[in-house]
A and B are shown apart, each in its own frame.
Chain A
Amino acid sequence: MPSDKPSLKVDDLVVRFPIRQRGEQRYITPVDHVSFEIKPGEVLSLVGESGSGKSTLGRALVRLIEPSKGSICIGNNDVTHIRRSTELRGLRKNIQMVFQDPFASLNPVRTIGQHLKILVRKHQGLRGRQLEQRVIQLLDTVGLYPGQEVMVKYPHEMSGGQRQRVAIARALTVNPSFLVADEPISMLDVSIRADILKLLKRLKSDFDLGYLYITHDLASAKYFGDKIMVMYGGQVMETGTSKEIVDNAVHPYTRLLLASTAGSPRRERVGETSLEAPDLFEGRRGCPFAHRCPFVSDVCRTEKPPLVEQVHGHAVACHHPVLGGGNRRHDEE
């Protein structure tokens, strides 16, 4: 679908943090040379475990964190290092964020109406009745009505799912082109997760919204995402269309993830796996997954595998991709 909206391009992005360890200053790189592109109306699911750098990447996109290297561009507009508040405000009109915990992302002492009004007043300059109308319309968009009743509620008077809808409405006040959704359903009750996912999906087509959908769950990544990008230890392991990744994963890590996902018919023994978190220190060598990989060899420990395109759009960073495995559904039968 052609669109006049710009796309979001991330090129070779690096985020590094200083940490002090035993009196020594060291750096960790939770995002280590990551590149991708999200077109308007497209959903990229970013899948990874804790420590994979997925949340850090999400926060870098909305510039809550400043990247160290690489670039983030919206259209031709490089926003990697903007500092001035006017520029940041401009960026955040294009890209907004929905947080994981709906109990923490709303201010407990302000009503739902106050949450939205302050932003609508600021960005659309509306007052009085018009302001109220717009807020009611926003609430309606996320499936919360009657708006008059919702507006006067405090967050603690609403359920988790309703709060998450408010958080989504808040992100929509500026009419963004992109949303970073950081595990938006993982804290919700199972029975209401589906409706939030469906809401996000509907907004995607209604507003031509592009998403970076951050999750640890491959099933929802596949359900919502057009593409899936799998990260481990700050680096991209495998990326491709959702169907391709789920059916024809070739990276040992992706395959391990698939085998571990509950409800996968391809559940197989995971067996021994290192329980240590990946090493994020700057200057580490080789593949971050090497310490857990069942196919590890010497080269994995010394040389970082490049991200190489296998088939169209399906790229893998691995020295020993499990090629020819094909659809893993067949090899068990």
Chain B
Amino acid sequence: MNGKPVLEVENLSVCYATRRGLATAVDRVSFTIYENEVVGLVGESGCGKSTMANAIMRLLGDGAYVTGGSIRVMGQDVYRLKGDALRQFRWTQMAMVFQGAMNVLNPVKTVESQIVDTLLAHRPGMSKQQARARAEELFRLVRIDPKRLQSFPHELSGGMRQRVVIAIAVALEPKFIIMDEPTTALDVIVQKSILEQIMELRDRLGFSILFISHDFNLVQEISNRVGVMYAGRLVEMSKSASDLALTPRHPYTQGLIRAIPKLTSDDEDIQGIPGSPPSASNRPSGCAFHPRCPYAKPICRTVEPGMTTVAGNLIECHLSEDELRSMTYAER
């Protein structure tokens, strides 16, 4: 699988300024995404996954700061880009699909003019005619009737709007796209259909995806590898998304899997994780998950665990491989 790295995140930390000082939203996270890869990123609200996406896109709002580490996209350190170079880089090299399509699309412009504007802003040589033709082509690509190009965003259904946003994201053929909960607001059938669409586009155009979601099952289905974030840390990065049943996992991941009722299993035992995720300004000491972890040992309370490789998966936990393994099997 490993080809050229598309996204390299190294030791990235992002903090928010609050009245009481700095709150760490993303805490020393490292991972790499290679060509043509889909990497899923799972976590609950407030775990830092969206903050990280914004940091990669250089879209952090006021009061959020990158406090350490580096982000390279296609080998280029994005925090060394300035002004126009950054604007050019964004969208031609990396793009992002946000959750709320309505917030991204301008309500008073037709979707065609929005696509055309994006194209013209990044392709100086392109004529308006060519841009229009390209917009039509993009619409066919995401399977919307090109007649709809003249519509305003509110005239389209939620599913169609999201497709328009995807069309804009792929318009300049970036090599890397971040999708931040792209289908969360949609109904399940539309969601499935759009996911199929995304995978098809990827096969045709060849780009890598960082797919962010809180839905473990969904991420599992479409990703080559799955990362799990908890309290700002990347606590697990699997080697592959399949053979879920046999691989040892982080206790938190285990908990997430057990917390979801399954359509197929007749055994009805689901189990929540006690407590709730900690806030960014009040992280527990040691392993941040220890207060909610059923397997916590004394060491977990005081010492931060390091990343270890367990059967090819990267897991940040004090438990030994055997312990993780036995606990995984106990659940099956």
Tell me which residues from 212 to 238 in chain A have a Cβ below 8 Å from any Cβ of chain B.
216-220, 222-224
Q: In this assembly, does B270 line the interface, its C-beta being within 8 Å of a C-beta of chain A?
A: yes
Q: In this assembly, does B192 line the interface, its C-beta being within 8 Å of a C-beta of chain A?
A: yes
Tell me which residues from 262 to 286 in chain B have a Cβ below 8 Å from any Cβ of chain A.
262-264, 268, 270-274, 276-277
State whether A275 touches B256 (Cβ < 8 A).
no
CA of A199 to CA of B44, assembled, Å: 21
Q: In this assembly, does A49 line the interface, its C-beta being within 8 Å of a C-beta of chain B?
A: yes
State whether B263 touches A191 (Cβ < 8 A).
no
Tell me which residues from 265 to 315 in chain A have a Cβ below 8 Å from any Cβ of chain B.
265, 267, 269-273, 275-277, 292
B44 partner, pick from A190, A198, A216, A264, beta carbons under 8 A: A190
Residue of B nearest to A256 (CB): B189
Q: In this assembly, does B117 line the interface, its C-beta being within 8 Å of a C-beta of chain A?
A: no
CA of A114 to CA of B270, assembled, Å: 33
Residue of B nearest to A159 (CB): B276
A219 partner, pick from B258, B261, B292, beta carbons under 8 A: B261
Q: In this assembly, does A175 line the interface, its C-beta being within 8 Å of a C-beta of chain B?
A: no
Q: In this assembly, does B215 line the interface, its C-beta being within 8 Å of a C-beta of chain A?
A: yes
CA of A265 to CA of B189, assembled, Å: 16
Q: In this assembly, does A259 line the interface, its C-beta being within 8 Å of a C-beta of chain B?
A: yes
Q: In this assembly, does B216 line the interface, its C-beta being within 8 Å of a C-beta of chain A?
A: yes
With a cutoff of 8 Å between Cβ atoms, the chain B residues found around residue A256 in the complex are 189
CA of A323 to CA of B157, assembled, Å: 32
A222 partner, pick from B189, B263, B274, beta carbons under 8 A: B263
Q: In this assembly, does B303 line the interface, its C-beta being within 8 Å of a C-beta of chain A?
A: no
B189 partner, pick from A160, A264, A273, beta carbons under 8 A: A273
B261 partner, pick from A50, A223, A260, A272, beta carbons under 8 A: A223
State whether A275 touches B159 (Cβ < 8 A).
yes
CA of A292 to CA of B189, assembled, Å: 11
State whether A222 touches B273 (Cβ < 8 A).
no
Within the complex, what minimum Cβ distance (angstroms) separates A13 from chain B?
A: 23
With a cutoff of 8 Å between Cβ atoms, the chain B residues found around residue A172 in the complex are none
Q: In this assembly, does A149 line the interface, its C-beta being within 8 Å of a C-beta of chain B?
A: no
* With A216-B188, A269-B196 as contacts: A194 and B270 at CB distance below 8 Å: yes
Within the complex, what minimum Cβ distance (angstroms) separates A240 from chain B?
A: 15
Within the complex, what minimum Cβ distance (angstroms) separates B184 from chain A?
A: 10
CA of A246 to CA of B192, assembled, Å: 18
Tell me which residues from 179 to 231 in chain B have a Cβ below 8 Å from any Cβ of chain A.
187-193, 196, 214-218, 220-221
Q: In this assembly, does A44 line the interface, its C-beta being within 8 Å of a C-beta of chain B?
A: no
CA of A192 to CA of B272, assembled, Å: 5
For A, the interface residue count at a CB cutoff of 8 angstroms equals 46
CA of A331 to CA of B248, assembled, Å: 32
Q: In this assembly, does B259 line the interface, its C-beta being within 8 Å of a C-beta of chain A?
A: yes
State whether B268 touches A191 (Cβ < 8 A).
no
CA of A190 to CA of B272, assembled, Å: 8
B157 partner, pick from A192, A196, A222, A276, beta carbons under 8 A: A276
Q: In this assembly, does A258 line the interface, its C-beta being within 8 Å of a C-beta of chain B?
A: yes
With a cutoff of 8 Å between Cβ atoms, the chain B residues found around residue A261 in the complex are 188, 263
Within the complex, what minimum Cβ distance (angstroms) separates B272 from chain A?
A: 3
Within the complex, what minimum Cβ distance (angstroms) separates A322 from chain B?
A: 16
CA of A231 to CA of B155, assembled, Å: 25
Within the complex, what minimum Cβ distance (angstroms) separates A15 from chain B?
A: 21
Interface centre among B45, B159, B268, B276 (most CB of A within 10 A): B276
Within the complex, what minimum Cβ distance (angstroms) separates A203 from chain B?
A: 16
State whether A263 touches B273 (Cβ < 8 A).
no
CA of A276 to CA of B157, assembled, Å: 6
Interface centre among B44, B191, B260, B272 (most CB of A within 10 A): B272
State whether A275 touches B190 (Cβ < 8 A).
yes
State whether B189 touches A262 (Cβ < 8 A).
no
State whether A273 touches B255 (Cβ < 8 A).
no
State whether B196 touches A219 (Cβ < 8 A).
no
State whether B192 touches A259 (Cβ < 8 A).
yes
Residue of B nearest to A277 (CB): B157
Residue of A nearest to B214 (CB): A190
Q: In this assembly, does A53 line the interface, its C-beta being within 8 Å of a C-beta of chain B?
A: no
Q: In this assembly, does B60 line the interface, its C-beta being within 8 Å of a C-beta of chain A?
A: no
B277 partner, pick from A50, A189, A217, beta carbons under 8 A: A189
Within the complex, what minimum Cβ distance (angstroms) separates B264 from chain A?
A: 6
Q: In this assembly, does B319 line the interface, its C-beta being within 8 Å of a C-beta of chain A?
A: no
With a cutoff of 8 Å between Cβ atoms, the chain B residues found around residue A271 in the complex are 193, 196
With a cutoff of 8 Å between Cβ atoms, the chain A residues found around residue B276 in the complex are 159-162, 189, 191-192
A-B contact pairs, 9 of them (CB 8 A): A49-B188, A162-B276, A191-B256, A191-B276, A192-B272, A195-B272, A197-B270, A219-B261, A262-B215
Q: Can you add 15 more A-B contacts, CB < 8 Å, to A216-B187, A270-B189? A: A49-B187, A160-B276, A190-B44, A191-B276, A194-B261, A216-B188, A219-B262, A222-B263, A223-B270, A260-B192, A263-B217, A264-B264, A271-B193, A273-B193, A275-B160
